Amino acid sequence: GEGSSRVLQTRGLTKHFGGLTATDEVDFALEEGELRCLIGPNGAGKSTFINLLTGQLEASAGSIYYDGRDITELSPHERVGRGISMKFQVPSIYEEFTVAQNLRIPLQQVVDADEYGSRTRKILERFDLLAERETTASDLSHGQQQRLEIGMAMAMEPKLMLLDEPVAGLSVEETADIAELFEEITADDGVALIVIEHDIDFVESIADRVTVLDQGSIFREGSIEEIRADSEVKRIYLGD
């Protein structure tokens, strides 16, 4: 049936901060291996929505279903264990550690010690970091650091990965590399991605569908062509 490949669904998901409603009864659904971009003006509630999915924030009302189960009450740690992975806006790599040491941090949470070696190598190959294995993370290029972070998130073998502005500050070439990585992660590994993104050209290069948030609610959902042509979407951006 239609719901069989659905990896994520929210119903009436709501978050209040005092008198402010940052997420307002959001009904959202995502299919396995889908890449969805989340756009909207500053303060629209994009980061809040993502933080509700990871469990960093507790919902005020509504439910989150993941992989067919209600996960609304699960802790962030339990959600990671079920395969929800987050790559933060703020770099989460340890700059003084080597690439291999960084990868060990997530791997320790999911596999036995005798598997570290083989799993680390697999990720290094996949993310084109084999030659940088013993390099201190602070000595990597910005693009390599981004690949390491995504590799760390992928080490958890997620079914759903959430990314808040993953290409902010990257060069055109590095951005193209990330777009290609996303294509592989979704198509080959079947991982669903939700990507918060400002750069509409990058959105166009990666997204299957786009969700526009405004004032905590879903304002529009559709293909990038539909969203780009929508004068009301233009209006909420200009009105910001």
| Partner in contact with 36, chosen from ligand ADP, Mg ion, none, beta carbon below 5 to 8 Å by kind | none
17 binds ligand ADP (CB under 6 A): yes
Q: Which span (36-44, 80-88, 115-123, 126-134) binds ligand ADP, by CB under 6 A?
A: 36-44
Q: For residue 7, how many other CB atoms are within 10 A of its CB?
A: 21
47 binds Mg ion (CB under 5 A): yes
36 binds ligand ADP (CB under 6 A): no
| Partner in contact with 42, chosen from Mg ion, ligand ADP, none, beta carbon below 5 to 8 Å by kind | ligand ADP
Closest distance of CB 181 from ligand ADP, Å? 23
Among 22, 64, 195, 224, interactor with ligand ADP by CB under 6 A: 22
48 binds ligand ADP (CB under 6 A): yes
Closest distance of CB 50 from ligand ADP, Å? 8
Closest distance of CB 101 from Mg ion, Å? 30
Q: Tokens at residue 176, please?
A: 């193209």
206 binds ligand ADP (CB under 6 A): no
46 binds ligand ADP (CB under 6 A): yes
Closest distance of CB 46 from Mg ion, Å? 5
- Binding residues vs Mg ion (CB under 5 A): 46-47
- Binding residues vs ligand ADP (CB under 6 A): 17, 20, 22, 40, 42-48
